[in-house]
Amino acid sequence: MNAVVGLTPGDAEGVGMEMILRMLSDEAMTERFTPLIYGSSKVAVHYRKALEIPNLALNVVTDASQAAKGKINLLNVGNEDIKSDVEGGERETGKWAAVALQRALEDVKAGMIVGVVSGPIASTPYKEEETAEGELLRKQRKSTTLMVKGRMRVASLTQGVEKQDVAAEITHERIVKKVREMVRTLREDFGVDRARVVVMSLNEKNENGEYGKEEADVIVPAIKQLCDEGVLCFGPIESKRYFDEGEHRNYDAGLALYEAQGFDEMKSLVGDDAVRFVELDDIVWTTSTGDAEPEKAGKNVVEIDGFRNAVYGVLDVNAQRRYRAQEAKVIPLGQ
């Protein structure tokens, strides 16, 4: 099966389109999947010229169902009259990026593509609540989101909360629910049947080797309940032990209490090769963790491994879901 994967460049002034075109210039990639770029042929041609890959043919389609195997397909989305200055400039293309992403996600729901890989958006100079991207961001905050690099996987209990404010957000029920979601996602999308999840601590141990109030009153009881349910849940553990001292190797995923503790720490350890995996209404949506970096666009200097890994992430999850679906159809002997 040559799955169709939607690719959205993100900010037209950023490095997303460059990452896509450079990745697809490797013919081996189009042998593994059928790419469908949701973007602008004007921007694509602009970057193709800047990157000096004029022979990279684009098959322009008007609907996802027209995506052709073995070709680099492009579906024009939104207003073609957009800024495409590879040297950067005012970042006015966030809304356009959101429209492209929304269209791709709708096509996943319709069953025309198997997942979406999106490029970075440089900035959001528009009010979040007034845009499609704002709606997506709100849904994302309520979904299961993992940052993944190989077997290292991290989720965050809270989103958009600073460390000094997170204590009020940590509840027994929230931890239990999030760990259950992680276990389900690890089983269904990553093939980990008996996932080992460790919960990170908010406080460091004191001189007596004891954690603080949050750990004693909330985190430890939540872990105990999960263990009583048969979930392989461990902790609490300090984030520096998990990341810097290599304890992540002993678990299938870690639950950080706030984003900086998990995502920022992981990115500082593995760089832009990590992939952000979002399960949004059962849709597989991945992004690389790199920044839009408009000052680097069109100069052949940005790393593309993270975006390639994000594509592999969609393909792997799709394969795992198909395997699980086939497995569910098997009737045991004697029945």
The pLDDT score that the predictor gives to residue 127 is: 44
Q: Is the pLDDT of residue 182 over 70?
A: yes
Give the mean pLDDT of 239-257: 94
User: In the CATH scheme, what is the code of domain 1-143+281-335?
Assistant: 3.40.50
Strand partners, 278: 145, 285
Q: Specify the DSSP class assigned to residue 68.
A: P
By percentage, how much of the chain surpasses pLDDT 70? 86
The reported pLDDT for the residue numbered 141 is: 53
CATH class of the domain at 150-271: alpha beta
What does the pLDDT look like over 35-61, one tens digit per residue? Answer: 999 999 998 999 999 999 988 999 999
CA distance 289 to 274: 6
* Residue showing tokens 């100069």: 299
pLDDT digits (tens, 9 = 90+) for 290-315: 777 778 887 888 889 999 999 999 99
Distance (Å, rounded) from C-alpha 18 to C-alpha 299? Answer: 9
Model confidence pLDDT, tens digit, residues 80-108: 555 544 444 344 556 777 788 889 999 99
* pLDDT tens figures, 202-227: 998 887 778 889 999 999 999 999 99
pTM value is: 0.86
In sequence order, what E strands does the chain have?
A: 4-8, 34-39, 59-61, 73-76, 115-118, 144-149, 152-156, 196-200, 232-237, 253-256, 275-280, 283-288
Confidence class of residue 176 from pLDDT cuts 50, 70 and 90?
A: very high
Which residues, 6+ apart, have CB-to-CB distance to 53 below 8 Å?
21, 22, 25
Confidence (pLDDT) at 94: 64
Q: Greater confidence, 116 or 139?
A: 116
Domain boundaries defined on the chain: 1-143+281-335, 150-271
Residue 80 has a pLDDT of 54
Mean pLDDT throughout 325-329? Answer: 75
Is 80 exceeded by the pLDDT of residue 12? no
Q: Name the average pLDDT for the chain.
A: 85
Closest CA to 324 of 186, 172, 128: 186
Q: CA–CA separation, 1 vs 35, rounded Å?
A: 13
Q: Which residues pair with 146 in a beta bridge?
A: 155, 277
Higher-scoring residue by pLDDT: 14, 280: 14
pLDDT at 142: 59
Per-residue pLDDT, 10: 85
SS3 (DSSP) at 131: coil
User: One fold for both 1-143+281-335 and 150-271?
Assistant: no
